[in-house]
Amino acid sequence: MNRECRVLVTDDQPAVCQLFRSTLGARGAAVHAATNERQALEILRSQTIDLMFVDLRLADANGLDLLRTAHQISRQLVSVVMTGNGTLESAIEAMRVGACNYIVKPFDAQNILNALDHALAYKSSKVSARANHGDVGNSSSPLPINMVAASPQMRESLNSAALAAPSDMPVLIEGESGVGKQMLARWIHERNRESNGGFVHFPSGALKDARPGAEHPEWQRFVVGSASSERANECRSSADRCTFYVEHVEQLPMWAQRQLLQRIEWTSLSSSEYAHPDAARVRVIASTTTSLDAAVADDTFSRGLSDVLRLTPLSIPPLRKRPEDIRGLAYHFLERFCNDHNRDPGPYRRMIAEETWELMLRYSWPGNARELISLVLRALLTKDNSDFERTLIRHVSSPAPAPNCDMISVPLAGDLRTIERCVIREVVRRLGGNKAAAARALGMHRRTLYRVLLQN
């Protein structure tokens, strides 16, 4: 920290306040403690507070109400909420009010330090935004990208991403299609204090069939170093630092992999004097849905590029393996869509009965978070509000395998073709009828899959 950070922790448990005092005090922060709303407001009105940790369940007050008042008192305040496992909806509401993060009890000193680093990076990004665009008087608004992480697996991934965000090192994000890899890449970008030149999304399929030297404006500008492209103007000058997000990096042709490796070595792994004079300052984040180890073994992916990308490896688990996130994600998307369409999300939240949540938790979500987003939006767009919950129920009541079911039953009677057809049909069913995804999962051509299914 460049100067002493002034922190207010508000919790009616003295032991929690003491944990914050000892943990943050060791990092050089000045920690004020309050065990009720009155004490917290007195400190906020008499002291300049940079960061506030607040429990959503205070003995004498509603933590959400205190949070709203705190942000009215100080527009520069950054807040983090503390919550138990049973108050996830309130935590999401708190983030809408202005909190930048939440931590779930019970937590330890490392959780507190991770939350501190995250909050300071968030505060720095807000200062940069005001410097670049002017202070619009609403600095308590949250950043556009908010990652929901109630499950231990996703919290661990997000903590690792928060630690990686301030550096210039390349990042590799692994995960199934639809889990939110691009969203995590943008989340990392927004928390890099020097990423002032934009986020450039590059789909590797654009170069899949291209020959070496083929002109592609974004690739030429951000990887090769050519400044001739007018379309790729996200980095306005060599003083700006961009994030270059390479989606499906495993699809890059080998010549493009070599260029990307050279670009990373220019910028992230070497001294600045070796950088290309016309090249924009680029931080590379790549994502993949497949195993790069297998691609390296098959000689379809550069071992050198795999090694440098894995300097900061991150992984997003599939939604079926983190059911604790389903309710929070659904509320998050519901809130966002309702805000975009000037609707009150409250009635929709109340429409979802616990029995419906149970169905959603048992559903396997083959399309991951993308499927959940699509379902929530489809339910909101029904003509009659009463159809909202029925749309959810119809979708998640379709036959689906158990979350950890890796077994397929086959008939004892029948030839190999019958067994093959049985296996293919089961995989198609488990993937929600998506035959293209089933063909990829089985390692066979789509035409072959269709031919087998059409056989008598």
pLDDT digits (tens, 9 = 90+) for 336-379: 888 766 678 888 888 999 899 999 999 999 999 989 988 988 88
Distance of CA 330 to the CA centre of its chain: 14
Q: Predicted confidence band at 221 (pLDDT cuts at 50, 70, 90)?
A: confident
Q: Predicted confidence band at 271 (pLDDT cuts at 50, 70, 90)?
A: very low
Which residue did the predictor score with more confidence, 138 or 1?
1
User: What pLDDT sits at residue 76?
Assistant: 79
255-259, 285-289, 320-324, 379-383, range with the lowest pLDDT: 379-383
- Decide if 152-315 and 319-396 have a common fold: no
426: buried, middle or exposed (CB in 10 Å: 19+, 13-18, 0-12)? middle
User: What pLDDT sits at residue 341?
Assistant: 66
Q: Predicted confidence band at 268 (pLDDT cuts at 50, 70, 90)?
A: low
Convert 363-372 to b/e letters by CB count within 10 Å (16 or more is b). Answer: bbbbbbbebb
Residue 293: C-alpha distances to residues 285, 300, 305, 307 (Å): 18, 10, 11, 10
User: What pLDDT sits at residue 414?
Assistant: 58
User: What pLDDT sits at residue 240?
Assistant: 58
User: What predicted TM-score, i.e. pTM, was given to this entire model?
Assistant: 0.57
User: What pLDDT sits at residue 24?
Assistant: 93
Which residue did the predictor score with more confidence, 398 or 361?
361
Q: Predicted confidence band at 166 (pLDDT cuts at 50, 70, 90)?
A: confident
Mean pLDDT of 263-286: 66
User: What pLDDT sits at residue 406?
Assistant: 56
Which residue did the predictor score with more confidence, 134 or 291?
291
Q: Predicted confidence band at 101 (pLDDT cuts at 50, 70, 90)?
A: confident
Question: Does the pLDDT at position 90 exceed 90?
Answer: no
Question: Does the pLDDT at position 130 exceed 50?
Answer: no
β-bridge partners, 314: 173
Q: Give the sign of the dihedral formed by CA 157, CA 199, CA 145, CA 82.
A: positive
Crossing angle of helices 416-430 and 435-442, in 10° steps, is 120
β-bridge partners, 434: none
Question: Does the pLDDT at position 295 exceed 60?
Answer: yes
276 vs 266: CA distance, rounded Å: 7
Mean pLDDT of 373-396: 84
**Mean pLDDT estimate for the chain:** 79
Q: Predicted confidence band at 131 (pLDDT cuts at 50, 70, 90)?
A: very low
How many residues belong to the chain? 456
SS (H, E, C) the chain: CCCCCEEEEECCCHHHHHHHHHHHHCCCCEEEEECCHHHHHHHHHHCCCCEEEEECECCCCEHHHHHHHHHHHCCCCEEEEEECHHHHHHHHHHHHHCCCEEEECCCCHHHHHHHHHHHHHHHHHHHHHHHHHCCCCCCCCCCCCCCCCCCHHHHHHHHHHHHHCCCCCCEEEECCCCCCHHHHHHHHHHCCCCCCCCEEEEEHHHHCCCCCCCCCHHHHHHHHCCCCCCCCCCCCCCCCEEEEEEECHHHCCHHHHHHHHHHHHHHCCCCHHHCCCCCCEEEEEEEECCCHHHHHHCCCCCHHHHHHHCCCEEECCCHHHCCHHHHHHHHHHHHHHHHHCCCCHHHHHHHCCHHHHHHHHHCCCCCHHHHHHHHHHHHHCCCCCCHHHHHHHHHHCCCCCCCCCCCCCCCCCCCHHHHHHHHHHHHHHHCCCCHHHHHHHHCCCHHHHHHHHHCC
Specify the fold of 6-133.
Answer: Rossmann fold (3.40.50)
């789909």: which residue's tokens? 203
Residue 86: C-alpha distances to residues 164, 214, 294 (Å): 30, 55, 41
Q: Which of 219-223, 274-278, 301-305, 438-442 has the highest mean pLDDT?
A: 301-305
Q: Predicted confidence band at 269 (pLDDT cuts at 50, 70, 90)?
A: low
Report whether CATH 1.10.8 matches the domain 319-396.
Answer: yes
Q: Predicted confidence band at 213 (pLDDT cuts at 50, 70, 90)?
A: low
User: What pLDDT sits at residue 141?
Assistant: 36
pLDDT digits (tens, 9 = 90+) for 241-263: 788 999 999 989 999 999 999 88
Specify the fold of 152-315.
Answer: Rossmann fold (3.40.50)
Specify the fold of 416-454.
Answer: Arc Repressor Mutant, subunit A (1.10.10)
User: What pLDDT sits at residue 448?
Assistant: 83
Which residue did the predictor score with more confidence, 245 or 61?
245
Convert 320-333 to b/e letters by CB count within 10 Å (16 or more is b). Answer: bebbbbbbbbbbbb
- Phi, psi of 48, rounded to the nearest 5 degrees: -90, 110
C-alpha R_g of the chain: 25
Amino acid identity for residue 173 in this structure:
I
Residue among 33, 73, 50, 66 nearest 119 (CA): 50
Domain regions of the chain by residue span: 6-133, 152-315, 319-396, 416-454
Q: Predicted confidence band at 66 (pLDDT cuts at 50, 70, 90)?
A: confident
User: What pLDDT sits at residue 179?
Assistant: 93
Q: Predicted confidence band at 170 (pLDDT cuts at 50, 70, 90)?
A: very high
Which residue did the predictor score with more confidence, 399 or 278?
399
219 vs 217: CA distance, rounded Å: 6
